[in-house]
Structure 1
Amino acid sequence: MVKFYPSISEDLREWIFEQSLFFVASAPRTGKHVNLSPKGHPSHTLSLLTPTQAAYLDATGSGCETISHIYEPRNARVTLMFCSFGPSPRILRLFCRGRVIEKGDAEFGGWVRKMVEGGMEAPGGLEMEGGSGAGMDAEEKDETTEKGEEDGKMHLKAIRAIILLDVFKVQTSCGFAVPIFPSSSPPTSSSDGPEVSELLSPVPTSGYANRATLAKWTSFMVKKDGSLEPYRTGNNFRSLDGLPGLRSARRGRGEWVGVEGVLQWGRRVGGMWEGVLVGMVLMMVLMVVVGRL
């Protein structure tokens, strides 16, 4: 029951915003690790800007895998996955190519506003940003550090980047093996046909809720260090496979971002020495064979 689409239809868009969370997957071109991260309520962190373009707010965390994989030359592969934990089963994947817009970039503020226009709830602190192109740190201007996220809103203090995604393929599948989690949503008919609708069952009334932990941790770190920049500098400068991470973090460590990009290219090419060696041997063999003809 797998189906593919070239873009996000209106009914899939509505379904996406009804889900409680989504997952982001990425990987380096070479390396040992494939990253998979859960993300919060789509309505609070995700925006569908067009049928083929999406974006989500990337909160400060202990790693920077997705950012590093997008920055890696000739990579930028990202997959978003949504799945229903309610009575109507479905899995949806967005296959994308990504771009990182860091908080310090001049276009950051403008993209946040575009995301709000695309369906995302306005994050806390947005009113403190300047014009549509402002990229200033709201955390340096917000003195209400005790404010939590009980209302479910992400605050700009906690955000380190926007991940902008160009969607080139959409996939849906049955999701029959995904367990049901208590939800306040009643059973509905399935888009996969009446035979699937017959499998739907009622579930207890309960559900997911946003944590206030991120806001409280952010407030603590802002009080302690003045902002989240020291934390990002210490934790978000490299991926698990050694790829360059958040540019602002690398600058904070005194790295030359442009030079590091050249070195990364050199390491990537150097890692292909086996293929280069095999190619040279085959070329020599071919020259010998041709010379004897």
Structure 2
Amino acid sequence: MSRFYDKIDQTFSEFIDRQKMFLVATAPINGRVNVSPKGMDTFRVLSPTRVAYLDVTGSGNETAAHVCENGRITFMFMSFGKQPMILRLYGTAAIVQPGDATWDELYALFPKLPGVRQIFVADIASLQTSCGFGIPEYELKKERTTLNQWAQAQGEGMVDYWVDHNLESIDGLPTNLNLEGREGLEADA
């Protein structure tokens, strides 16, 4: 029931745009696999083989540590509507941080959210669809605002939070989070 593809065509791009949530999976060479749910309109298709997502502050920074170590990344989108489908994007990612050459161009594609850490850009090697027949049908009640409120309340204290919680993975791998060049990000939110 599954099929592989080599690019994100218009049908897949439109499917991605309709989803209010996606999952990001990464793993170090040795250590724990990480799967993180994402939302808040933070995913963009840049080309048929390239995507990006805006990463906001969370409890950890596992994705960054794993991408720094080996680059492997998988995105998964699921339809919770009447037409079932699961779409996985397999690729290799890089991290763009404030102050990097492509930051301004990429950051302009996303909503201005408090607590922005970095942008992940991934080159997609293949896509896989599967039926999604076992995924329940849900309706979105509303977007949560709790993370944005928490990040906004941190203000300048966000750097302290990053130092305490986001500079290495739970397996001790560095995330390479650059704490410089972030002036004005919170003001945009």
Q: TM-score, normalised by structure 2?
A: 0.90
Aligned to 2:12: 12
Superposition deviation, residue 248 in structure 1: 2.0
Superposition deviation, residue 77 in structure 1: 0.4
Aligned to 2:165: 235
Aligned to 1:95: 90
Q: Would you say the 8 A contact 1:64–1:246 is kept in 2?
A: no
Which consecutive unaligned segments of at least 5 residues does structure 2 have?
A: 181-189
Q: Which has the higher strand share?
A: 2
Superposition deviation, residue 106 in structure 1: 4.3
Give the whole-Å Cα distance in 2 for the aligned partners of 1:5 and 1:93: 10
Give the whole-Å Cα distance in 2 for the aligned partners of 1:93 and 1:208: 25
Aligned to 2:111: 123
Structure ID, larger Rg: 1
Matches within 5 A, 1:201-216: 207-216=140-149
1:55 pairs with one of 52, 56, 59:
52
Give the whole-Å Cα distance in 2 for the aligned partners of 1:91 and 1:212: 26
Aligned to 2:125: 168
Bigger relative contact order (CA 8 A; separation at least 6): 2
Which amino acid is the alignment partner of residue 179 of structure 1? P
1:221 pairs with one of 154, 165, 185:
154
Give the whole-Å Cα distance in 1 for the aligned partners of 2:101 and 2:13: 29
Secondary structure, counterpart of 2:178 in structure 1: helix
Q: TM-score, normalised by structure 1?
A: 0.59
Q: Would you say the 8 A contact 1:104–1:248 is kept in 2?
A: no
Superposition deviation, residue 247 in structure 1: 3.0
Q: CA RMSD in A?
A: 1.5
Give the whole-Å Cα distance in 1 for the aligned partners of 2:6 and 2:84: 22
Which consecutive unaligned segments of at least 5 residues does structure 1 have?
A: 117-121, 125-154, 183-206, 252-293
Which amino acid is the alignment partner of residue 44 of structure 2? S
Q: Which has the higher helix share?
A: 1
Percent identity at matched positions?
41
Q: Would you say the 8 A contact 1:82–1:93 is kept in 2?
A: yes
Aligned to 1:85: 80
Which amino acid is the alignment partner of residue 166 of structure 1? D
Deviations 1:14-68 (A, max 9, x none): 011111200000000112x100000004xx2111000000000000112111100
Matches within 5 A, 1:124-273: 124=112, 155=113, 157-182=114-139, 207-222=140-155, 226-248=156-178
Equivalent pairs counted in the alignment come to 180
